[in-house]
Amino acid sequence: MLSGRGPERAAEDMETKAPETDSAQSSAPRATVLVVAGDPGLKLLVSQKFRREIRENELSFVFADDGASALRTLGRSDVDVVVTDVQLPGTDGLTLLSDLKKYFPNIRSVIISAYGDMRTIRRALNLGAFDFLTKPIDLDDLGVTILKTVEEALALKQAVRDRERLAAIRQELDVARRIQLSMIPRTFPAFPGKSEFDIYGDIKTARDVGGDFYDFSILDGDKLYFAIGDASGKGVPAALFMAVTRTMIKAEAVKGNPPDRCLAEANRILCMENEFSMFITAFCGILDVGTGEVAYSNGGHKLPFLVRSGAEVETVPGTDGIALGVLEGESLYNVGTMKLGRGDTIFLYSDGVTEAANRQLELYTDKRLEMVLSGIGEGLPKDAINAVLVDVETFSEGVPQADDMALLAIRYN
Amino acid sequence: MDMTVINADDELTHVKLRGRVDLDTIGDLDREFTRQTVTRRKDVIVDMSDVDYMASIGLRMLITAAKALDKFGASMVLLNPHPDVEDVLRTAGFDKVMPIEHDLESARDALRARA
């Protein structure tokens, strides 16, 4: 089979090498040059000079006799470089140059003028011509000038492509950010009728937006459900994984399940179809608004701080659960309980806060967070979160944020 | 970020990771790590002592390999991670999937215990 292919290929090549049918070639040439000249001599010159490049599909040439047909050709084929005579039937080469500048700014051009006509050459360069050739045309000069211009045009093309790719990435991150923000309650005060507690949350998305979330809602009128989490990875996959998890945990809570069941059920479903081994850390709790009792469960998330009204700061005791989406099995998640007194605040956060870096690549750390929290006393959750955000900003000395930061604080009144 | 294979015999694969592991640096490490560990289907010790920082993408690489090894009846142990990295691993509960040890002998013991 393989050997039988050789002659076929050769036959194909023969066909595509027929003069002036470059556009019929099976694969695209590396670059295409449009030659615009009333004089047929130039066409011949170019075809001879670039015989090898044409044969090897390095370059392809298309030809036009005047400015108008040049523009038509540009409109329908992918041209990288235009070589044009100044003198053309109808509109001249300089007019074509200004049209190029206007309609095809990414095409590089070379102008051909009479020897010594510096005025025209200068005008052409001012109109954006990349280089010039003078008549009578020197074959070597023609070769060097066109090849150089082609390289420049290809570099420009690549730069444009890179920029478009970057724009696409930005757009993806923007989609991710919107998914993320649409998932998170951001209207405060959240429950103007509830005086038993104050709640406030904030999220600062990093440039490479990740999958942080916080969530809360009232269950049965006297219970406050709250959660925080951080999905592995970045961009849309992380945002979607987070969105699904957040909804599953909440759905279990709404059904009346205790926090450990909420995590276990979400974990069970996440483990079912998780070929990319994504995982998400999550902490969720339910506050009994009447008594201040909190039942909670942790799935590999940073343990919240408990800021007592006397400003003493404790870490909430762990419940030994693994991040969600990693392990299947029963009893992976346990429930913990604590009791909030009046003026106590529970402060939840994601590791984007404590792993914020400064110029020396030092991290913000839990310790520094704890110190800031020890200064908030019985302040409002909003003030506590803002104090932390300000301190993180001071610490990081302008180093761009690498990871999302999610913060949620609840003060029991 | 790079990886070296310290030892690969009939019983054990012993590799060492170095540097920061995050989205910007992971590159082909992911595939290389899987190739050197999972495909050999032997118990694995990952020397973490020179890993300065590990983002979630790195944790995912380790977890994926540990779970794949588990299917072949092999285990993975992490050796001597930096305290910050160890904290991240323990917080996420990943020490349940990959025990963390601080010297080679305990790492070998941990692997024997899981066999």
Backbone angles phi, psi at A243, to 5 degrees: -60, -45
DSSP-based three-state secondary structure for B55? coil
On chain B, the residues whose CB falls within 8 A of the CB of A283 are: none
Average pLDDT over residues B70-81: 94
Q: Give the per-residue pLDDT at A26.
A: 56
Q: Give the per-residue pLDDT at B48.
A: 96
Residue that has been written with the tokens 């900003």 in this structure: A393
Mean pLDDT of chain B: 91
CB A111 within 8 Å of CB A133: yes
- Tally of residues, chain A: 413
* CB–CB contact B60 A277 (8 Å): yes
On chain B, the residues whose CB falls within 8 A of the CB of A333 are: none
pLDDT in tens, chain A (413 residues): 333 343 333 333 333 333 444 444 457 889 999 999 988 888 889 999 999 999 999 999 999 999 999 999 998 888 999 999 999 988 899 999 999 988 898 899 999 988 788 899 999 999 989 999 998 889 899 999 999 999 999 998 888 888 888 887 778 788 888 888 888 999 999 999 889 999 999 999 887 777 899 999 999 879 999 999 999 887 888 888 999 999 999 999 999 999 999 999 999 999 987 767 789 999 999 999 999 999 999 999 999 999 998 779 999 999 999 999 999 888 899 999 999 999 999 999 999 999 999 998 889 999 999 999 999 888 899 999 999 999 999 999 988 888 889 999 999 99
- Rounded alpha-carbon distances, angstroms, from residue B22 to A207, A319, B95: 15, 28, 20
Residue partners of A391: CB distance under 8 A and separation at least 6 = A368, A372
Q: Give the per-residue pLDDT at B92.
A: 93
From the CA atom positions of chain A, what is the Rg in Å? 34
Q: What is the DSSP string of A293-314?
A: EEEEEEESPPPPEEE-TTS-EE
Q: Give the per-residue pLDDT at A321.
A: 94
- B56 → closest Cβ in A232, A302, A303: A232
Surface-to-core class of residue A123, CB atoms within 10 Å of its CB (0-12 exposed, 13-18 middle, 19+ buried) = middle
Q: Which of A276, A219, A114 is nearest to B57 (CA)?
A: A276
Q: What is the DSSP string of A79-101?
A: -SEEEEES--SSS-HHHHHHHHH
Using CA coordinates, name the residue in chain B closest to A365: B84
* CB–CB contact A322 B67 (8 Å): no
On chain B, the residues whose CB falls within 8 A of the CB of A303 are: 91
Residue A299 or residue B55, greater confidence: A299
Distance CA B96, CA A248 (A): 24
Ramachandran quadrant class, A118 (left: phi over 0; alpha: psi -120 to 50; beta: rest): alpha
Residue partners of A130: CB distance under 8 A and separation at least 6 = A108, A109, A110, A149, A152
On chain A, the residues whose CB falls within 8 A of the CB of B64 are: 277
Nearest-CA distance A277 → chain B (Å) = 6
CB B92 within 8 Å of CB A281: yes
Q: Give the per-residue pLDDT at B21.
A: 82
* CB–CB contact B56 A233 (8 Å): yes
Q: Tell me the residue ranges of DSSP E strands in A142-279.
A: 197-204, 211-219, 223-231
* Residues of chain A contacting B, Cβ within 8 Å: 208, 230, 232-234, 277-279, 281, 299-303, 320-323, 326-327, 351, 363, 402-403
> For residue B102, how far is the Cα from the chain centroid?
13
Ramachandran quadrant class, A365 (left: phi over 0; alpha: psi -120 to 50; beta: rest): left
Q: Using DSSP bridges, classify how beta strands A81-85 and A108-114 pair: parallel, antiparallel or unpaired.
A: parallel
| Other Cβ atoms closer than 10 A to A225 | 21
Query: String of b and e for A29-62 (b: at least 16 CB within 10 Å)?
Result: bebbbbbbbeeeebbebbeebbeebbeebebbbb
Q: Give the per-residue pLDDT at A82.
A: 96
pTM above 0.80, yes or no: no
Tell me the ipTM for this assembly.
0.88
Q: Give the per-residue pLDDT at A210.
A: 73
- A277 → closest Cβ in B63, B91, B92: B63
* CB–CB contact B91 A320 (8 Å): no
Q: Chain A within 8 Å of B71 (Cβ-Cβ)?
A: no
Nearest-CA distance A282 → chain B (Å) = 9
Q: What is the DSSP letter of A351?
A: H
From the CA atom positions of chain B, what is the Rg in Å? 13
Backbone angles phi, psi at A132, to 5 degrees: -140, 160
On chain A, the residues whose CB falls within 8 A of the CB of B22 are: 402
Residue that has been written with the tokens 């560990």 in this structure: B37
